[in-house]
Each structure stands twice: as C-alpha cells, then as structure tokens.
Amino acid sequence: MRTFAIGDIHGYLDAFDALLAVVGPRPDDRIITLGDYVDRGPDSAGVLDRLLEWHATGTLIPLRGNHDEMMLLSRRDKSHRRLWLRYGGVQTLESYGHRALDDEYDRVPESHYRFIEHTCREWYETDTHLFAHANIHPDVPMDKQDSQVLLWERIRGPIVHYSGKKFICGHSRQESGVPLDLGSAVCIDTGIYEPDGWLTCLHVETGVYWQADVYGQIRMGKLE
C-alpha cells in the first residue's frame, strides 16, 4: 500500500485531476487530502464532486481545512459570511452559480456540506506519520489536539512530535513553490492559487512528489 498526501487544492480541479492521473492511485492506496478544497480557485464545486467520487472508492481520507471550516460557519451564521467572502468565498459561490453577493445557499448541495462537516476529519495518524491541515502541538496526542491549532496555526519552525512520527501538513504557503522539508515535518502547501503556484502530491513513503500547475502541467521532485 502506498500513501499519498495532497496539499491545499483551493478550487483548482484541473490541477487536482492532473495529479491523480499521473500518480494513478491503486485500490489499496491511501490518498490523504489535507483540506482547503474551496475558495480562490474557479471550481470549488467540481473539486468537492471529485472528492466525493474518490471517497466512494474507499481510497480517500479527507481532512478539513480552515477555508472549508469558514464555508460551514458562513452557512450557520451570516456574521461569518463577510470574512469568508474576503478570503475566497466569492469564487466558491460563483462555482455553484451564485452571484457573489447572494444571501441564498440553496445551490450548494447538501452532500457537499455533509462531506465537509461529517466525512472530513481534523487529523489522521498512521504507524509512521501524522497528518493535519495546519499544525500540531508537539507534546499533545492527536486526539487531544486543539482544533484551532489543527486548522489555523501556521508552522513557524521545526516540529518534533513526542511520538517520533513525521508530520505532514498544508496551510503555510511556500513561496518557493516547493515543499518545506524540516526533517520531522513537511509542509506541502505550494500555493496553487498564486500566479507561479503549484499543487503538490507527496508519496509519503519515498519522499517523491509530483506538482501540477493551473494548466495541468506536471513536474517532479524529491525531498532531500
């Protein structure tokens, strides 16, 4: 079994599809998506549809990101809506056919909300690795971690979890366009929504990674 981690997709379905095509996941593989499926890119609705398809195959383990959380909060409490729209919610609503300032959410399928709220997890753990969208506290078991840390806190430096397991995350955009390898932790948010950004898929066991840009062009690399 191979394990793949995919960074912040942000509505860029073409890049996501290009990575899946080049990696060619097998039925016994694990695909761990690190959250931030919506906002900023042109097709958040399409990304969630594709994630639902892959989850039905049993290979996908989806985590929740802070942008996905903002989408949920905006549905429940309109006071959160203005902040969400400022950080990419406009593009998300438009991908469902809404005008940017509509107050109606009826065009977003209930299945998409259920996926974000109930199917997506805040963290995942294997025998060798820990996964979360944003960050972890190094001295706390994964089932005791603070949601604010898991979804919102940026990486400021090396993280050595007491378990000895390597940590894989997104959220903290790498302006270099390549993953940040801190030895005990790796960040694979490589800013697909930036003009020179990429979406990254990391083969966790080998350190090989593939990247796709908004046009679906692919490049490869390997962690040192």
Four-residue CA torsion sign, 127, 131, 135, 136: negative
Domains for the chain: give ranges and CATH numbers.
3-222 (3.60.21.10)
Least confident window among 21-25, 55-59, 103-107, 135-139? 103-107
> What contacts 71, CB < 8 A, 6 or more positions away?
38, 39, 84, 89, 92, 116
> pLDDT tens, 71-121?
999 888 878 888 898 899 999 999 998 875 555 566 899 999 999 999 999
Provide the pLDDT confidence category of residue 16 given band limits of 50, 70 and 90. very high
Global pTM value: 0.96
Summarize the confidence of residues 200-218 as an average pLDDT.
Answer: 97
Contact 165, 128 (CB under 8 A): yes
Please tell me which residue, 104 or 162, carries the higher pLDDT value: 162
Note the pLDDT of residue 107: 85
* Mean pLDDT, all residues of the chain: 95
Instruction: Return left, alpha or beta for 36; rule: phi > 0 is left, psi -120 to 50 is alpha, else beta.
Output: left
Of 1, 58, 25, nearest in space to 205 by CA: 1
Q: How far is 137 from 151, CA to CA, in rounded Å?
A: 12
* Burial (0-12, 13-18, 19+ Cβ within 10 Å), 204: buried
DSSP class of residue 188 equals: -
Residue 219 or residue 75, greater confidence:
219
| pLDDT, position 138 | 97
157 pLDDT exceeds 80? Answer: yes
- Whether the per-residue pLDDT at 172 is higher than 60: the answer is yes
Q: What is the C-alpha to C-alpha distance for residues 162 and 54, in angstroms, rounded to an integer?
A: 33
Closest to 136 (Cα-Cα) out of 164, 165, 167? 167
What DSSP state is assigned to residue 155?
P
What is the end-to-end Cα distance of the chain in Å, rounded?
A: 23
Residue 139 backbone phi and psi in degrees, to 5: -105, 15
The residue ranking higher by pLDDT, 126 or 86, is 126
Q: Does an H or E element contain 167, and which?
A: strand 166-169
DSSP β-bridge partners for residue 202: 5, 209
**37: amino acid identity, one letter:** Y
Question: Cβ(7)–Cβ(190) under 8 Å?
Answer: yes
Confidence of residue 156 (pLDDT cuts 50, 70, 90): confident
pLDDT score for 103 = 58
